[in-house]
Amino acid sequence: MKTYIIIPLVVLLLAVGLYLSDRYEHQTNSYEINMYRCKNASFVLLNDKITNFSVGIAEQSFKAMPQPFLAKEGKKLIIRNTDLDTLFENAFVDFPCIERVFFRKNKFKTIPKALKQLPNLTDITLTENQITTLNTTVFEELYALKNLYFSRNPISKLSFPTTESELNTFECQFCELTEIDFIPFVSLRNLDLSNNELTDFPIEVFNLIGLKELRLNNNKINNFNFTAEENQRFSYRGLNSIDLSDNQLIQFPTVLGNLRNLKHLNLYKNNITGKLVTEGFISLEALELPNHFISEVLIRNVARNNYGEESTLDYFLPSMTELNLKNNQIYSHY
């Protein structure tokens, strides 16, 4: 083959090889490149919205109102005090390094789908928005999620979002909750549904694998009447702590004695009247029952010896270290 043909062919092959090599290297390192760019980038997205904020700032400062705030601080993204009610889906495509978002006091009506662009999210705060439902698929592929905060949104019916991640905290205080629609089998340690309008104990919480702490204080719970099948669910072994203070119970919820690992039970500020009968509570360490109308206390516990033989006890088991029955009308304990 003649030289004038060979040389251009070799040059062409080298060029193609360099191109493919560079392309392969870029694809291989694209994640690292994007993470590096994200860490060193400033928050310049949503420019079309930011212009509108400048007008809002002037108006709000005259009224001494909180000013809109958008910022990227390291791995944290903040959008606060804005009129935003939605985000375009690829709004955060350039920010894969973000681990925490704080979208507080905005006007979001649904969970922004743009969050799907943030695979490393551990914390999502969407408090004080206008969200009415948590029935979303946004969290299904966010495997690093740990904490979800939705307090002060008008969510009357809670449909717990599906996620494959192991959650630590889910919070929905002051959400106007009146019922629990659905809770899938997901992993969660701490559930806070305090300061809502619930009237029934949400037995659906036993679908939360690994649940340790449950806060239901400041609701209107007055019902612990369950079917025999539902009562069996109270053999759930995970819960360590339940806060039912500031509700409307008139009877002591004896079914909670079936929670074998329950250590702390707070029933402060209810209206429990008459005889207090406790049975079970084999791990209970602290019981808060002040300011009720309890007249009698009857303790029914069972102990087993080394041979498995049962004997009836009329006192709390040795695990109990704190018992608060102040300001009641107790005249008998047997």
Q: Which pLDDT tens digit goes with each residue over 153-206? A: 999 999 999 999 999 999 999 999 999 988 999 999 999 999 999 999 999 999
267 domain-assigned: no
26 domain-assigned: no
- Count CB atoms within 10 A of the CB of residue 334: 7
In this prediction, residue 33 carries a pLDDT of 67
294 domain-assigned: no
Has residue 1 got a pLDDT over 50?
Answer: yes
Specify the residue for token string 């599906």: 162
103 domain-assigned: yes
104 domain-assigned: yes
Specify the residue for token string 């212009």: 51
Roughly how many angstroms between the first and final C-alpha of the chain, as a whole number? 110
Q: From CA 209, how far away is CA 161, in angstroms rounded?
A: 14
In this prediction, residue 57 carries a pLDDT of 42
Six-digit token string for 289: 């029952």
Has residue 2 got a pLDDT over 60?
Answer: no
- Structural domain of 70: 33-118
Eight-state DSSP code of residue 113: G
Indicate the number of domains in the chain: 1
25 domain-assigned: no
**pTM of the predicted model, to two decimals?**
0.83
The letter for the amino acid at 220 is K
Eight-state DSSP code of residue 196: S
Q: Which of 111, 52, 60, 59 is nearest to 87 (CA)?
A: 111
236 domain-assigned: no
Compute the chain's Rg from CA coordinates: 28
